[in-house]
A and B are shown apart, each in its own frame.
Chain A
Amino acid sequence: MVLQKKKMTKERFLKAFKRDKYLYLLFLPILIWYIIFCYLPMGGLVIAFQEFSPGLGLFKSKFVGFKWFIQFFGSPFAYRLVRNTVLISLYSLVFGFPVPILFAVCVTELRNTAIRKTVQTVSYLPHFISTVVVVGMIKNFLSMNDGIINNFIALLGGERINFLMDPKYFRTIYVASGVWQSFGYSSIIYIAAIVGIDPSLYESAKIDGITKFKEVWYITVPMIAPTITILFIMQLGRIMSVGFEKVFLLYSPGVYETADVISTYVYRKGIESSEYGFSTAVGLFNSVINFLFVFGANQVCHKLTNTSLW
């Protein structure tokens, strides 16, 4: 009986393999890539528990247990880093997430094709501008003495504001420029979803004499809800992973108070101060929290909408 079962499993396996051999062939290089570039570095996370020394390598370096984690949580920066990381993403989510949806609804409602196309085309533009250029523009625009914003403030008779040196403006600058850069591009997927809605729904709504506001609320929004949900989960999962590049390029020691996030701290500690073990430990902490976030979000989403990431 057991033997038979084994035999059957083997047969099934062979059969499945034979049937899917081309699929395996296709997938194999990708699998190898994933193992090398994504899973091997995870093995390297062992550094987080080591007094890692480049000369000794992964295997000979001394193990120190949770020393680095203890050191991190004992440091006065731990709270601030987590707070900044979460707040920057949270604000980006709160202010950045609805705008593309709103914009998508607006754009699809524009009757004049020429206007619609122009607005759409222009709105995607900022996404093509690299982070470096965007930050370059921000820094120059906000400059206290030459910047257009301060020139404008001065023109109105106001006091020039030191945007780049004052911690209280950092998040606003970060979030606002983020929305500016991404709303058009992010809206594409919603526009696609809205255009994909069965027109007969709108036609029947029209016969019922529903106003445009209601039409949007009762037809458009529910129809694109699955898209919204999935994207929302994606965003939520990133709540602990603020875009490193932009913070890195935009901040300066004067605004660390609100700008320093876990990833930039890891970079400074790991790359600039060569504290490999410590910085890997902090990075690992970030990754774990990050993972828990998205896992939780995914569970919730799965229960609510029956769509999920995996």
Chain B
Amino acid sequence: MKQFKKLLAILLCAVMVIGLFAGCQSKDKPEDSSASSSTSSTEKKEEEKKEEKKEEPKKEEKKEEPKKEEPKKEEKKEEVVEEKGITYTGVSPVFEETKVISWIGTNGSSLTFEWDKMDWCHEICRVANVELEMEMLENTTYNDVINPRLAAGADLPDVVQMPSKDEDMKFIKSGLFAELTSYYDDYGYNLAWRFEDNPTVKGQLTTPDGKIFYVPVVDMSTDYCPAPLLNFTWTSELGFDVPKTTDEYYELLKAMKGADLNGNGEDDEWPLFLRAGMETFMGSMWGLDLRLGYYNNDGTVEASYINDRYLDYLTYMNKLYTEGLLYNEWSTSTYDIQNKLFSNNQVGSGYHYTNNCQSYCRLIDGEWKNDGSMPLTFGAVEPYTTAVWGKKELAGLDPIAGVFGISKFCEKPDEVFCFLDFLYSEEANNLLYYGIEGVDYKVENGRKILDTERRSTNNYASVAGNNMGAFPRILLAEHRDNAYVPEIGERNAAIRQFYKIPIGFAYALEDELETVKTYATDLSTYWGEMRVAFITGTRPLSEYDDYVNTLKNMHIDDMAAVYQAKSDRIG
């Protein structure tokens, strides 16, 4: 009996081992199996979609316009056709025959994520002659979905919106994404002229060995960054001037507290409202970059979270919190809480992207019109100064806001690249930011006049796909200037000089990678939770020294050295 058991055990082990190998073999060559499975699944989808599609061609027929024939196009066409069959020259249509591209991305806005309803984006695809198989995911869960899919390395769509900028080159090294260097040269018509104005961008995208793997989202409207915002109505009601220093600001906040400025008879005003994470932007007033964690102070990179000024920042913020001036649930607050507070007129000041003020004004007063006839009741002001830093400074943003990759499962990466380049064209840009000409805006004397009425109804612009996050694109100041009341732009212009660009995104060198991989996330987890703990007082500030020592033990100085080197490289 015993022997029999042994035999059985051996047999089963064998079965398991064979099974294991069988399973692993399929993993061993993901290229073949997954590629074929992905194509078969797309074929299926196509078949399924064919029925649905019946309606769409009709639309296209109706909308079909005389194609703009560019002389340039004709010339290049002949050369290119012979070689690769690509007729793209930087203008629509990108393809002669409708091209199906599969795509995964997130729209980046918390309000809408229904791809079907985004008319503006569909219009872009129509003029480009592209049919997108869009997998549009909800913003908050995007990383949860895309990261494991990248880990599995199987069944990726043609275009993938990356969960990060891949600073440690993990995905580049995984070989999951096509190298785009030559495509940039051959087909990057629009990318080329867009990058001309901003030469650093291309440098930032290039790996140390001179290759490019991604198409970026470039945000050149860096002056629409977070800045101090103030409720002007309340400030003048209290007889205060716009504060110049953080001390004056503190006095103002104290005056706002309990003054029943919204006149509802209840002590429900919040002098300072922040959404989770917004407190990090305030660090710039102390000369700290609390988002990246490292700050370039005249050529020397400092780790913000162990800087002495950071203790001052924490002391100040903790004071605001304990005295009930800072919104008590800020670290867990969400959009709906923010909107609720604003619509009840409970907010005295904030610190946020300056263009948000338009919606705040509308929330505070339903009668407020965004046609420029009414002054802002809630708007951006110059940064306050602190005793420890003295300078007026605001935290700017890195121009590279995100990246898109073309997966290795894509059969024609060059063709797909053409479409990505097209998204950088003037034509696609106008559709993405202003909508459809004649419907969403008019052109008068070369200026675009937006239909503000239409824009503000039912959140129309965001439904239609304004600045849709799942597309690579360039965002310029004019796009925003045009979309908001002039005063927003004016206030921006006034504080533009204070923006300080953070240490830019750049790929790490081989020897730096190890440091980044090993320490970066643990560091940011730790300082992030400690920041909340110190501000809310769940950890006393007397523990600050221990905290600094912990960060040092976690190799924060090594990381600072990496950023120093990077910063020197970008120049």
Find out whether the CB atom of A165 lies under 8 angstroms from the CB atom of B536: yes
Supposing A54-B151, A55-B153, A57-B30 touch, asked if A12 and B1 sit within 8 A by C-beta, the answer is yes
Find out whether the CB atom of B150 lies under 8 angstroms from the CB atom of A274: yes
Find out whether the CB atom of A166 lies under 8 angstroms from the CB atom of B525: no
Supposing A35-B19, A56-B175 touch, asked if A162 and B329 sit within 8 A by C-beta, the answer is yes
Q: In the docked arrangement, what's the CA distance between A291 and B4, Å? A: 28
Q: In the docked arrangement, what's the CA distance between A164 and B332, Å? A: 8
- For B153, the closest partner residue in chain A by CB is A54
Contact of A166 among B24, B521, B528, B538 (CB under 8 A): B538
Q: In the docked arrangement, what's the CA distance between A252 and B532, Å? A: 10
A296 within 8 A of B: no
Within 8 A of B (CB), among A241-296: 252-257, 268-276
- For A42, the closest partner residue in chain B by CB is B20
> Shortest beta-carbon distance, A211 to chain B, in Å?
49
> Shortest beta-carbon distance, B523 to chain A, in Å?
10
Find out whether the CB atom of B7 lies under 8 angstroms from the CB atom of A252: no
Within 8 A of A (CB), among B376-405: none
Find out whether the CB atom of A274 lies under 8 angstroms from the CB atom of B170: yes
Q: In the docked arrangement, what's the CA distance between A268 and B176, Å? A: 22
Find out whether the CB atom of A273 lies under 8 angstroms from the CB atom of B521: yes
Within 8 A of B (CB), among A38-69: 39-40, 43, 53-59
Find out whether the CB atom of A71 lies under 8 angstroms from the CB atom of B518: yes
> Shortest beta-carbon distance, B172 to chain A, in Å?
10
Specify which chain A residues have a CB less than 8 angstroms from the CB of B19 in the assembled complex: 32, 35-36, 39-40
A160 within 8 A of B: yes
Task: For chain B, give the interface size range.
Answer: 35 or more
B174 within 8 A of A: yes
Contact of A59 among B28, B170, B328 (CB under 8 A): B28
Q: In the docked arrangement, what's the CA distance between A58 and B27, Å? A: 7
Interface string of A25-40 (1 = CB under 8 A from B): 0000000100110011
Find out whether the CB atom of A254 lies under 8 angstroms from the CB atom of B532: yes
Specify which chain A residues have a CB less than 8 angstroms from the CB of B24 in the assembled complex: 43, 58-59
Find out whether the CB atom of B332 lies under 8 angstroms from the CB atom of A57: no
Chain A residues bordering chain B, tally (CB within 8 A): 46
Specify which chain A residues have a CB less than 8 angstroms from the CB of B29 in the assembled complex: 57
Contact of B329 among A53, A143, A270 (CB under 8 A): A143
Find out whether the CB atom of A165 lies under 8 angstroms from the CB atom of B23: no
Contact of B529 among A56, A58, A257, A275 (CB under 8 A): A257
Specify which chain A residues have a CB less than 8 angstroms from the CB of B193 in the assembled complex: none
> Shortest beta-carbon distance, B552 to chain A, in Å?
11
Find out whether the CB atom of B20 lies under 8 angstroms from the CB atom of A43: yes
A209 within 8 A of B: no
- For A273, the closest partner residue in chain B by CB is B521
A9 within 8 A of B: yes
Find out whether the CB atom of A58 lies under 8 angstroms from the CB atom of B4: no
Supposing A13-B4, A254-B332, A274-B147 touch, asked if A54 and B152 sit within 8 A by C-beta, the answer is yes
> Shortest beta-carbon distance, A194 to chain B, in Å?
39
- For B337, the closest partner residue in chain A by CB is A145
Specify which chain A residues have a CB less than 8 angstroms from the CB of B176 in the assembled complex: 54-55
Specify which chain A residues have a CB less than 8 angstroms from the CB of B529 in the assembled complex: 253-257
Find out whether the CB atom of B147 lies under 8 angstroms from the CB atom of A271: yes
B84 within 8 A of A: no
A7 within 8 A of B: no
Q: In the docked arrangement, what's the CA distance between A164 and B333, Å? A: 11
Within 8 A of A (CB), among B1-28: 1, 3-4, 7, 15-16, 19-20, 23-24, 27-28
- For B23, the closest partner residue in chain A by CB is A40
- For B12, the closest partner residue in chain A by CB is A31
Q: In the docked arrangement, what's the CA distance between A12 and B7, Å? A: 12
- For B340, the closest partner residue in chain A by CB is A146
B356 within 8 A of A: no
A77 within 8 A of B: yes
Supposing A13-B4, A35-B16, A274-B170 touch, asked if A166 and B536 sit within 8 A by C-beta, the answer is yes
> Shortest beta-carbon distance, B346 to chain A, in Å?
10
Find out whether the CB atom of B532 lies under 8 angstroms from the CB atom of A270: no
Specify which chain A residues have a CB less than 8 angstroms from the CB of B163 in the assembled complex: 274
B366 within 8 A of A: no
Q: In the docked arrangement, what's the CA distance between A269 and B153, Å? A: 17
Q: In the docked arrangement, what's the CA distance between A143 and B331, Å? A: 12
Specify which chain B residues have a CB less than 8 angstroms from the CB of A256 in the assembled complex: 525, 529
B517 within 8 A of A: yes
A18 within 8 A of B: no
Q: In the docked arrangement, what's the CA distance between A300 and B153, Å? A: 44
A126 within 8 A of B: no
Find out whether the CB atom of B538 lies under 8 angstroms from the CB atom of A168: yes
> Shortest beta-carbon distance, A62 to chain B, in Å?
11
Interface string of B411-426 (1 = CB under 8 A from A): 0000000000000000
Find out whether the CB atom of A162 lies under 8 angstroms from the CB atom of B328: yes
Find out whether the CB atom of A40 lies under 8 angstroms from the CB atom of B533: no
Interface string of B535-552 (1 = CB under 8 A from A): 010100000000000100
Q: In the docked arrangement, what's the CA distance between A164 and B328, Å? A: 11
Specify which chain B residues have a CB less than 8 angstroms from the CB of A86 in the assembled complex: none
Specify which chain B residues have a CB less than 8 angstroms from the CB of A143 in the assembled complex: 329
Contact of A77 among B30, B152, B522 (CB under 8 A): B522
Contact of A254 among B3, B151, B521, B536 (CB under 8 A): B536
Supposing A55-B176, A257-B533 touch, asked if A165 and B153 sit within 8 A by C-beta, the answer is no
Specify which chain B residues have a CB less than 8 angstroms from the CB of A306 in the assembled complex: none
Q: In the docked arrangement, what's the CA distance between A210 and B355, Å? A: 78
A178 within 8 A of B: no
Q: In the docked arrangement, what's the CA distance between A165 and B529, Å? A: 10
B315 within 8 A of A: no
B554 within 8 A of A: yes
User: Would you mind naming 6 contact pairs between A and B with Cβ atoms under 8 Å apart?
Assistant: A36-B23, A145-B328, A164-B329, A165-B331, A254-B331, A271-B144
In addition to A55-B175, A59-B24, A76-B553, 6 A-B residue pairs with Cβ atoms within 8 Å of each other are A12-B1, A36-B19, A40-B19, A55-B408, A71-B518, A164-B332
The 7 tightest CB contacts between A and B, nearest first, are: A54-B153, A55-B175, A55-B174, A254-B532, A256-B529, A54-B174, A253-B529
